[in-house]
Structure 1
């Protein structure tokens, strides 16, 4: 275990050495079915390291060190604003504090400044903020109309010019109409796409944890005909390009995996073209919209749990209670 002195001098390295250990897993108290500690996946570790690096950079800017940062310091970090708007929504702010709480717990710092900061924030607001927003039917139509467009055929030097636009277009439609997490879309496999269409033109997507975030649960969701009409041509083009591997939406012709950051950037661009200035214009908004449409169609929490791939029915009930607030932007 690194000392507090090391954490102050080399916070980024100290956290990097800590995050993938059993000691970090112990602070989260996550156990597998066999009772052993559940270590972080590489993808989760990357996210945590990104978050901690943000904190370390801010502490350095403020002339502070990790061991002596106070509750007030941490509240200032999560309360930062840019152009009058919060840098972090309350759910993400809470995650930052929970991460820091685990670090201070590991180091035996008492009182734990992150724990004290958590007690000062409005937990009810966190739950409300977690809901995010959903799009109205009109806004969703505007989003679809703003999807990446094909380059004019006369400008193509090869039949596949502009293929990434068609990939991004198909992926964003699938996320919106099948309620996928971004990590599930990035990791979607060709073998998970149903080949036999139903009478209404829909197909089933069988989502498995393979190649996805470790919070994804196996589930089946129906992609309606509108989504199939975007996905099928892309799959045919992908096959014609002879892209290796099984990823439906690869990053390049070598079949490498897309980063979630790339997807968020492309999705944000679509929201901006649509004139939808949402606080969180991304995959969560589209997932909320999918959930709202399911509820409007009469889905019950148990059914919503299944199609969203949630572990608990109460998580689906939360959508009914708090996650269907339309964004007022028109």
Structure 2
């Protein structure tokens, strides 16, 4: 085959000349899907499910940061060694590199998997990214860059304790209305798996009516969450609806200037400060005597939703949609946690 007829991603010289452009072609191809650790996800007709546009953009951004870093180190793509990858990850974590300090642990590990696919496609052996992955976990106790933090969720008993400790009992009229607002917000975090950014940006119109099974569909709009989410619908099961409905009724009786579901105050249509929500989550963990839980934050509540849904029989593909994940592998990571946090009764 004439090498000129090949795309950049199928031509090693293309990767040498224009690595970012070659990767942009690669991530749009079936070859990228085929190089995953698991078989590609398929639809009902057994066709390979392509990546979302937002996922591709994120991967291209990640690879671009790596290319920029190795250029600064004067290392070519084909000359990269495992230590280069580990130092790149460490540079992002500590700020010693040329990139932004925005690579949380799960993103760093995803970056290594991304590079594994690239070097597998380029038939570079041994694969420097695979070797770097082994190094990350081998040095876990030393806090090596790129190691995922353990995913934490609440057990059934801990979840019930958290719910019993929620602020703002609707029957207690002596409490400020904000505590009843906070009660509904926290119920959505653990009951519908919503991020803090998503909860802050919800509007009344985003809350559906109870369906035949008593559940409520909640629409998440990326614009309302400052672009931190993908558009998706999640669900608040019937057992959690009773935590939200009293607030919906009370909110409708308040003279509010806007349509935010959880306004910061009665005078302006301002979003609640995220620090307020974090404080309420932490305080509820304290009241529930759950300070022994490794991570007492919104992520743990979101993880609890994911594990609970899987334990109820929700399919991984459906949970992927409910969580608004960018990569199905993130969703799949919860499967192994069901037995730990939701063993059969």
Class of the TM-score when normalised by the shorter of the 2 chains:
0.5 to 0.7
Q: 1:188 to 1:130 in 2, by over 3 A?
A: farther
> Aligned residues, how many?
232
The alignment status of 1:273 with 2:292, answered yes or no, reads no
Q: CA offset at residue 94 of structure 1?
A: 6.0
Equivalent residue number for residue 274 of structure 2: 260
Q: Deviations over 1:191-226 (max 9, x none)?
A: 11003x223321111112121042311111221123
**RMSD value, Cα:** 4.1
Q: Is the 8 A contact 1:288 1:324 kept in 2?
A: no
d(CA) in 2 for partners of 1:149 and 1:168? 7
Match of 1:147 among 166, 173, 177: 166
Q: 1:186 to 1:324 in 2, by over 3 A?
A: farther
Q: Using CA pairs below 8 Å that are at least 6 residues apart, which structure has the higher relative contact order?
A: 1
Equivalent residue number for residue 186 of structure 2: 172
- Unaligned runs of 5+ residues in structure 2 are 1-23, 25-51, 59-86, 95-102, 110-131
Bigger Cα Rg: 2
Equivalent residue number for residue 46 of structure 1: none
d(CA) in 2 for partners of 1:128 and 1:189? 37
TM-score by structure 1 length? 0.59
Secondary structure in structure 2 of the residue aligned to 1:122: helix
Q: Is the 8 A contact 1:288 1:323 kept in 2?
A: no
d(CA) in 1 for partners of 2:207 and 2:148? 33
Q: 1:199 to 1:90 in 2, by over 3 A?
A: closer
Q: CA offset at residue 245 of structure 1?
A: 1.6
Q: CA offset at residue 182 of structure 1?
A: 1.2
Q: Is the 8 A contact 2:106 2:147 kept in 1?
A: no
TM-score by structure 2 length? 0.56
Query: Superposed, which structure 2 residues align to 1:164-243 within 5 Å?
Result: 164-195=178-209, 197-243=210-256
Q: CA offset at residue 237 of structure 1?
A: 1.1
Equivalent residue number for residue 11 of structure 2: none
Q: 1:246 to 1:298 in 2, by over 3 A?
A: same
Q: CA offset at residue 93 of structure 1?
A: 11
Secondary structure in structure 1 of the residue aligned to 2:181: helix
